[in-house]
């Protein structure tokens, strides 16, 4: 039976309207990302999908700056902590197959782990960052003493397994790469295969994620992005890290295209049963205004007429790379941003892209004031830097970004420019008065400058704002002990 011409016309108009709407959103997102790229805040690849359909996939800036090779949708980036969601699924897969239990002590599977602490920690604790095991990347001099050396999983576990727990397992949340490193080691013990092998055969091969894998520095990898770091406006090659160190907590690489395949698979039962898949996205423990599942952060966001929508996401950071994947399952929205110039404002970018998708107002990019200040403070000193800050503050094209200011402050501190570093950290505290981290950094700068009184005051304020600042507590206790 033929459809009435009017009905066909209406259907065509509806489809056309949807198409125009998607095209318009894609155009807005592309303009937004172009602006971030021009301001030196995004150099990487992006993919955005809505209703499960890709509306934008594009590269920005250079994958290799020496050879001027552009980033593309198939450029391979190191993922950093986005790797954790893959590790979590592997563990849940083993549980589904009855090869592991999530509520038993880790010593059940790791006979060589110290029983004094290991008997108190379960697999669930590792998955949810509630084990109390100190985070190995937060150890003093980690980058200088360990990061460049190759370790076997068994040997590296020994570098933190005998440390005292920071709190009773299950008591609270404290992000710990150590926990996910242990999960990779447990996977190897259970399967008799390397973490890399089991990951490849369980996830990447079935999903045809042919541009994803465990990264090795010595392997020639086609389309791999080089990693860079920003020092103000200057860009340098990132420092070396042996990829045996991040391991199951952060050693994977992928592309925005492959992460779209991953996202789509999470709506199916290709990898896990429905019940097991749901276990990945349960809010097991609250952390501020968000919660943590198995390898994912979870939170609710209000988006206009849609009301509250559930966001499932995770970021990553590793030498030279900054990454973010954000999903809205109710509308099959995916936003993937992979950047190869170190830390940048991917969270801010993701929020603006999401607002565009929901037809909500969004913030335009602003140049990072920190980059401008670094050059002035380095070359002309604190007084001129303070004057420059006043001028930039009045310029609406510039914005103060907490992480950028913090990084610039430490760059100045490490080069011996203590007074200049203090200026930067003071600006950050003024701009972000509720940030425990901003006060912690200011306290560290005062301590380096020899002002114990102000160092104590700022460390105390930091701990008041962020009671989980264990490092700040240790430093404060050490200062007070010497008085």
CATH number of residue 160's parent domain = 3.40.710.10
In this predicted structure, what is the pLDDT of residue 9?
Answer: 43
Q: Per the structure, how many domains does the chain have?
A: 2
pLDDT in tens, 180-204: 999 999 999 999 999 999 999 999 9
Same-domain status, 250 and 189: yes
Cα(385)–Cα(400) distance, integer angstroms: 14
Domain co-membership, 345 together with 455: no
CB 455 within 8 A of CB 423: no
**Domain presence at residue 1:** no
Q: Where among 357, 384, 413 does a domain terminate?
A: 357
- For residue 16, being part of any structural domain is answered with no
Higher pLDDT, 402 or 228: 228
Q: Are strands 77-78 and 69-70 parallel, antiparallel or unpaired?
A: unpaired
Indicate whether 170 and 292 sit together in one domain: yes
3-class DSSP state of 72? coil
435-464: pLDDT as tens digits = 999 999 999 999 999 999 999 999 999 999
Q: Are 343 and 403 found together in one domain?
A: no
Average pLDDT of the segment spanning 408-436? 92
Query: H or E element: which one contains 482?
Result: helix 470-482
Closest CA to 259 of 197, 333, 325: 325
Percentage of residues in the chain with pLDDT exceeding 70? Answer: 95
Tell me which H or E stretch contains 308.
Answer: strand 308-318
pLDDT classification of 304: cutoffs 50, 70, 90? low
Residue 39 lies in a domain: no
Tell me: the pLDDT tens digits for 345-364?
A: 999 999 999 999 999 999 89
What's the rounded Cα separation, in Å, for the pair 74 and 335?
A: 16
The partner residues of 234 in beta bridges, in order of sequence, read: 231
- The C-alpha atoms of residue 185 and residue 157 are separated, in whole angstroms, by 8
Query: pLDDT above 90 covers what percent of the chain?
Result: 78
Domain CATH for 446: 1.25.40.10
For residues 64 and 70, what is the distance between their CA atoms, to the nearest angstrom?
A: 7
| Domain assignment of residue 428, yes or no | yes
Question: Looking at the structure, do residues 380 and 318 belong to the same domain, yes or no?
Answer: no
Mean pLDDT of the chain: 92
Taking CA atoms, 475 is separated from 20, 460, 462, in Å, by: 57, 10, 12
Beta bridge partners of 322: 317, 339
Clarify whether residues 346 and 410 are in a common domain: no
Distance of alpha carbon 325 from alpha carbon 264, whole angstroms? 13
Of 310, 327, 357, which residue constitutes the final position of a domain?
A: 357
Who contacts 173 (Cβ-Cβ below 8 Å, separation ≥6)? 128, 129, 130, 285, 286, 287, 292
Whether 453 is in a domain gets the answer yes
Any idea what DSSP says for residue 158?
A: T
DSSP at 472: H
Contacts of 261 (CB under 8 A, 6+ apart): 207, 208, 209
Of 461, 458, 379, the C-alpha closest to 420 is 379
**How far is CA 48 from each of CA 20, 240, 327, 343, 461, rounded to the nearest angstrom?**
16, 31, 10, 21, 40
What pLDDT band is residue 18 in, cutting at 50, 70 and 90?
very low
Residues 323, 441 share a domain: no
pLDDT tens for 458-483 read 999 999 998 878 788 889 998 988 87
Q: Is residue 309 part of a domain?
A: yes
Residue span of the structural domain in which 315 resides: 80-357
Predicted pLDDT at 305: 65
């Amino acid at each position: 039976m033929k459809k009435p011409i009017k009905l066909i016309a209406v259907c065509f108009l509806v489809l056309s309207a949807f198409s125009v709407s998607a095209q318009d959103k894609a155009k807005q997102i592309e303009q937004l990302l172009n602006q971030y790229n021009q301001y030196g805040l995004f150099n990487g690849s992006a993919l955005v999908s809505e209703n499960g359909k890709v509306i934008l996939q594009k590269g920005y800036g250079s994958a290799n700056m020496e050879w001027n090779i552009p980033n593309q949708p198939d450029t391979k980036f190191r993922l950093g902590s986005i790797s954790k969601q893959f590790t979590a699924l592997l563990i849940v897969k083993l549980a589904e197959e009855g090869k592991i239990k999530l509520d038993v002590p880790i010593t059940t599977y790791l006979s060589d782990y110290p029983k004094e602490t290991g008997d108190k920690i379960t697999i669930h604790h590792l998955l949810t960052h509630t084990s109390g095991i100190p985070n190995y990347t937060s150890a003093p001099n980690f980058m200088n003493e360990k990061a460049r050396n190759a370790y076997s999983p068994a040997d590296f576990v020994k570098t933190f397994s005998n440390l005292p727990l920071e709190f009773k397992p299950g008591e609270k949340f404290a992000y710990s790469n150590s926990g996910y490193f242990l999960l990779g080691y447990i996977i190897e013990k259970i399967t008799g295969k390397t973490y890399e092998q089991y990951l490849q055969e369980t996830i990447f091969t079935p999903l045809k994620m042919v541009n994803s894998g465990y990264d090795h520095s010595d392997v020639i990898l086609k389309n791999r992005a080089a990693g860079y770091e920003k020092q103000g406006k200057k860009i340098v090659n990132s420092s070396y890290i042996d990829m045996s160190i991040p391991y199951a907590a952060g050693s994977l690489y992928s592309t925005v295209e492959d992460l779209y395949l991953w996202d789509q698979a999470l709506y199916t039962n290709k990898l896990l049963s429905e019940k097991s898949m749901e276990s990945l996205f349960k809010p097991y423990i609250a952390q501020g205004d968000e919660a943590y599942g198995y390898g994912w952060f979870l939170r609710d966001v209000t988006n206009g007429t849609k009301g509250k929508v559930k966001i499932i996401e995770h970021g990553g950071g590793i030498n030279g790379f900054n990454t973010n994947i954000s999903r809205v399952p109710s509308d099959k929205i995916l936003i993937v941003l992979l950047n190869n110039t170190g830390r940048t404002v991917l969270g801010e970018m993701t929020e603006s892209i999401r607002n565009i998708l929901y037809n909500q107002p969004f913030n335009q990019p602003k140049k990072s004031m920190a980059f401008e200040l670094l050059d002035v403070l380095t070359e002309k000193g604190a007084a001129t830097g303070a004057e420059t800050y006043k001028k930039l503050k009045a310029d609406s094209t510039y914005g103060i970004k907490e992480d950028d200011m913090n990084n610039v402050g430490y760059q100045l501190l490490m080069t011996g420019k203590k007074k200049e570093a203090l200026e930067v950290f003071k600006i950050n505290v003024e701009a972000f008065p509720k940030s425990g981290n901003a006060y912690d950094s200011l306290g560290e700068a005062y301590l380096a400058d020899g002002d114990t009184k102000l160092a104590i005051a700022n460390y105390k304020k930091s701990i008041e704002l962020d009671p989980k600042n264990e490092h700040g507590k240790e430093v404060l206790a050490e200062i007070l002990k010497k008085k």
